[in-house]
Amino acid sequence: MPINQPSNQIRLTNVSLVRMKKGKKKFELACYNNKIQDYRSGVEKDLDEVLQIHQVFLNVSKGLVAPHNELVKAFQKSDIEEIILEILNKGEIQLNEKERDQKIKQITNEIVTLISTKCVNPNTKKRYSPSMILKTLNQLKYHILPTKPAKVQALDAIKVLVSKQIIPIARAQMEIKIDSDLKFYKSHAEKIKSLIENIENETFTKDRWECFALIDPANYKELKTFKFSLEVLDAAVISTSEGKYK
């Protein structure tokens, strides 16, 4: 004789969870493995491919479905699809151990590759290999998160690497071109040149100032506030074995 489960219990297996806390309650969605990542990156748009079931749970592993009145009280809305979308977009992704290990490996590779392309040894102007970056991050016991974007973590890791200087490292300079009204340039020359590390070439005409220069990437945002044309020619200037930039 079959055993009847309570009507608010649903058993699911092999799921990826998305969890959101509202007030004192935690609500969960049961998603197919890896699909929530595809959904958030815009690769997957069909919710039927993302959700194992269109239900909000109090606890997926126990099969406890969230009562409708608790959802309304927590989310201040009654439409279950709107609640599901809010959790999908804003909730915290819960990875199982295998998924977590795979994701950490993937995102670690992305992070060290990004750092390698954005940084150089300031003495040689050459980049470090991703393996050297990884070795240094391990020495620093830098903690990589599987659910945080690689670019965000790479920029944070660069700050730590530059601060600690276990290996001599700095952000690679950015090569830019500025085309400015001469009168505007003359009235702001001191400030503009304080943001430029090395002028490679500059040309003055009757009413224009054109400049090719290297800058610290940290100064790019401020230079963009000036009323002149600013073009990035190389986001990260790296020295080759022949000693030339590429």
pLDDT average, residue stretch 93-99: 76
pTM for this structure? 0.61
Domain of 36, CATH number, reads: 3.30.1250.10
Which range is least confidently modeled, 11-15, 56-60, 122-126, 171-175?
11-15
In a domain, 1, yes or no: no
In a domain, 10, yes or no: no
Where does a domain end: 69, 94, 119? 94
Q: Please say if the pLDDT value at position 191 is more than 50.
A: yes
Taking only the tens place, the pLDDT of each residue in 2-32 is 333 444 555 665 678 899 999 889 999 999 8
Is residue 201 domain-shared with residue 154, that is, in the same domain? no
Q: Please say if the pLDDT value at position 97 is more than 90.
A: no
The pLDDT of residue 165: 95
Sequence-distant (≥ 6) Cβ neighbours of residue 116 within 8 angstroms: 127, 128, 129, 130, 133
Is residue 130 domain-shared with residue 151, that is, in the same domain? yes
Judge contact between 200 and 177, C-beta under 8 A. no
Where does a domain end: 79, 94, 109? 94
Judge contact between 30 and 15, C-beta under 8 A. yes
What are the distances in angstroms from CA 244 to CA 120, 125, 214, 238, 240? 14, 10, 14, 8, 5
Taking only the tens place, the pLDDT of each residue in 72-90 is 999 999 999 999 999 999 9
Total structural domains within the chain: 3
In a domain, 245, yes or no: no
Is residue 34 domain-shared with residue 59, that is, in the same domain? yes
Is residue 27 domain-shared with residue 72, that is, in the same domain? yes
What residues make up the domain containing 56? 16-94
Of the candidates 165, 160, 243, 176, which has an alpha carbon nearest to the alpha carbon of residue 213? 176
Judge contact between 101 and 35, C-beta under 8 A. no
